[in-house]
Structure 1
Amino acid sequence: MNSVITSLTASTWFGYVARILLTYIFWASGISKLVDFPAAVSEMQHFDLNPPASFAIATIFVQLAGSLLVILNRWTWLGAGALGVFTALTIPIAHTFWNMEEPLKTVEFYVVMEHITVIGGLMVAAWKAGK
């Protein structure tokens, strides 16, 4: 059984699928923002990011370029790092659970915990790519 698992996880396609799934939240969001750019700009305005169009463009770029680097396993450290920093920055900007009332406070707290977990997954991807 161990050899089957080792063979599976060592295969090229497994790595691609893992990296596609790890970055799904980013490239799906980037494509969505690209397809509906006015909504992306409105999202930036909602979080008081100025100029909103510039922040929308930067967000789309980081999400798509970072995802592509991780998926292709090229300069993975850069793509994972950019996505990790981006994810960390969304916490004090968009997920300020400490300023919220229940029940939204608890919901946003768990979103933050998920963000921290995603950052850890990106760190593992960068670490694994360096080996």
Structure 2
Amino acid sequence: MDVLVLIGRILFAALFLASTVGHFTQTRAMAGYAAAKGVPAAAAAVLGAGLLQLVGGLSVLLGVWADLGALLLAVFLVPTALIMHAFWKESEPQARRLEMIQFNKDIALAGAALMMLAFFAHVGHDLGLTLTGPLFHLG
């Protein structure tokens, strides 16, 4: 089971770590897009989102307080879905559909991150192939 969980952690974290690169190398362009969506202090928000993805992704990948890392990713994903992919505000059908797909992806990933939080916090130190145990302890 440890190897399967490690493979899952690698696959899950890869998405966020790859996205982090864009947040730090294309901050200006991403901030413009975020500002167009109504995000205040868009450049700072883009960098903050990149930081959440970096720390959360590395935490899950390396197994260093992976429960906290999963929580950080959920904290990134839910507001991103609601603010950046508000499909209900789109009037053009194709734009609405594309935003709905991104919204649903972010919400599903947030659900997966919350399940990981619960899993890591519950299994605790019994899970191998991690550098630390969980930060949180759930029943």
On whether the aligned pair clears a TM of 0.5, the verdict is yes
Shift of residue 28, structure 1, vs aligned partner: 0.9
User: Quick one: which of 45, 48, 58 aligns to 1:58?
Assistant: 48
Alignment of structure 1 residues 1-131 onto 2, 5 Å: 10-12=1-3, 14-101=4-91, 102-130=93-121, 131=123
Residue identity matched to 1:77: D
CA displacement at 1:30 relative to structure 2: 0.7
Q: CA deviation at 1:23?
A: 2.4
CA RMSD of aligned residues (A): 1.8
The structure with the greater share of residues assigned to helix is 1
Aligned length: 121
Structure 2: state its 5+ residue gaps: 124-139
CA shift, 1:17, in A, is 2.4
Detail structure 1 runs of 4+ shifted over 4 Å in the superposition.
Answer: none
Q: Relative to structure 1, is the Cα distance of residues 22 and 93 closer, same or farther in structure 2, using a 3 angstrom cutoff?
A: same
What TM-score, normalized to structure 2?
0.75
Conservation of the 8 A alpha-carbon contact between 2:34 and 2:84: no
Name the structure 2 match of 1:6. Answer: none
Q: So what's the TM-score if we normalise by structure 1?
A: 0.79
Unaligned runs of 5+ in 1: 1-9
